[in-house]
Structure 1
Amino acid sequence: MKTALVTGSAGFIGSFVCERLLQDGFRVIGIDAMTDYYDVQLKKRRQARLLQSEHFRAIEDYVETPGLLMDLFASEKPDVVVHLAAQAGVRYSIENPRSYLESNIVGTFELLEAARAFPPQHMLLASTSSAFGANTEMPYRETDKADHQMSFYAATKKATENMAHSYAHLFGLPITMFRFFTVYGPWGRPDMALFKFTKAILEDTPIDVYNHGNMKRDFTYVADLVEAIRLLIDAAPVRPAEGESVPEGDSLSPVAPWRVVNIGNSDSVQLTDFIAAIEEATGRKAERNLMPMQPGDVPATWADAELLKTLTGYAPKTSVREGVAQFVAWYREYYQI
């Protein structure tokens, strides 16, 4: 039985990744600090579902705790690592940037040092579509420059990409970075638009619509994301041989077993259409409070996911209408509405 280490295991994405790995016969060790950035009870209920399996072990601690990951790697020697623990949220990074420094930068450093000492077969680290920053040419391709991040959150995630590349080059660690594009679905985060909009619409309160609704996002359903991650686990990058060129369109490093992969729906959906899907699923109309663009935000995201398809044969396919309906059904059941 292979051992997988998943950081951020009680998080929205992390809990689904753990569930999938358990289904596939992995022994899973999950680390989560259960921070109060949002409802801790929601995290505990996600974790409780995982603890139903005898092959899941939960550790409640911060990944940035000195020595924690080193000791864990020494004792467990994980075959696969999926690093999802991070302080998330663009807007919160303006209010509390130090938490991003500690969790995202220092936490990733602790992970890389542990992997350096006890190398796993493959490490997959979460980045973000926000890393593309001020880029305006779309769809975003992994080979595009990403030098002008618009928020400190995005800057810390781009920094972890660079940190991971240096360790991949120096120590031969196979590392895949994946950039998420607005993930949504059941058990989602309360600070995300879908959760906030659904709650407000069902409570007959106004929703805040930023940039007057003139925003587009590549909404990616969580089950599609998890499928992509699972397939990428078996597609570890290999450093090109001397004199061998990197295939066109591949973000594989020429000097390290490292690449970055977009995971998105390959579609850019207008925010107003997203709201319309929530209205349809809830059977209610939203009262809109039109707001200006928020600092650090970007007007649009759109993934080119051809590299993911080339590596795994898979392409996310869940429509926004279908995915939103799944979330609203979960929300009604969870809150007994």
Structure 2
Amino acid sequence: MSLDTAATQPHERMQAALADDLEAVNLLIRDRMASEHAPRIPEVTAHLVEAGGKRVRPMLTLAAARLCGYEGEAHRKLAATVEFIHTATLLHDDVVDESQKRRGRPTANLLWDNKSSVLVGDYLFARSFQLMVETGNLRVLNILSNAAAVIAEGEVLQLTAAMNLSTTEDIYLQVIRGKTAALFRAACEVGGVIAERPEPMIEGLATYGDGLGIAFQMADDLLDWGGSSGAIGKNTGDDFRERKLTLPVIRAVARADATERAFWERTIEKGDQRDGDLEQAMDLLRRHGTLEETRAEAMGWSARARDALAVLPDHPLRDMMADLADYVVARLT
């Protein structure tokens, strides 16, 4: 999901508040993505890292640490770790999904090849573990390494769940917890750990990250259907064309009569999609109210994220984090 660049948006305010830390993280990223013997590594990495991403995940690590009163520099290594893990997963995802565009630019696998994307992603994972170890904090290493495993597990689960009408809401939630929420959660949690805050604060940050990540992904899935109104727009229907089972479809399938079930079997399981099918799918989602229900679910997770911050100190960064939770669902019509 794209985040607007207007200065009034919470992530922009967070960028301004963390400007010095972010500059240090960017320098660290450039330094650690270098390779003495394989120049293709920095070429491929720079193509994605410098493509205009908002750095939301590493920003959350920095914000969590500063919110908790941390005054050292290890949080910068953790932020770079989080960005490397995220970038590695994007490189691998684009190969798996056979994507041709990322952030409006040709993907690395298209410009170079699949082998380069996979191997550079592996390199970035290795660099992320080096950075983790340098903090000297075993708990941080445990949190981030576990997140990396959960991310991979979520991606594999998504492969087995794709195009399968028996996919349940529980499986869907497990998938998005893996592919999106796990890194949000870890990014926030390690900020509290490195600051050596009490357990309730660390758990509050972890719960915030989990709720934010789930709300973020649910909103993304809903926007692919044109938002809760189901208005067909320019980019509407990519998930339908790719036969992905997101929450609105899972609920519509669960309530389908025999005719509707046959439609979903043809279009999703068999991949036999024809003119007018997207409009019919949209009509079924509206008929069963699953678009509006998904919006309510996303709003609920956003509220859970905001509420989890109550145990943290009163601070402008806490307000920005709360506003970010609101923002990721604010544009759902």
Structure 1 and Structure 2 fold alike (TM over 0.5): no
Structure 1 or 2: more helix by fraction: 2
TM bucket normalised to smaller: 0.3 to 0.5
TM-score by length of 1: 0.32
TM-score by length of 2: 0.33
Structure 1 or 2: more strand by fraction: 1
